[in-house]
Amino acid sequence: MFRAASSASLLAFLAICGVVVPKLELIYHVPYALIIPVCIGGALIGHIALTRALLRREA
């Protein structure tokens, strides 16, 4: 049982020991990094535009 488990996770074991260093893939983190500026920025601009439009309409 141990032999099957250790051979299945040999890459993980080598990564833990420092023999194999996984490459850093920052490109996969870009979409998650853009969620805050795009969504929050868009919501803020939308709220400002809507508030200005409503204030002009009533005046």
Over 70: is that where the pLDDT of 42 sits? yes
Q: What is the pTM of this model?
A: 0.47
Over 90: is that where the pLDDT of 38 sits? no
| Mean confidence (pLDDT) of the chain | 76
Share of the chain above pLDDT 70, in %: 54
Confidence of residue 4 (pLDDT cuts 50, 70, 90): low
Q: What type of residue is 10?
A: L
Tokens 């250790």 label which residue?
6
Handedness of CA 15, 17, 18, 19 (dihedral sign): negative
Handedness of CA 48, 49, 50, 52 (dihedral sign): positive
Over 80: is that where the pLDDT of 55 sits? yes
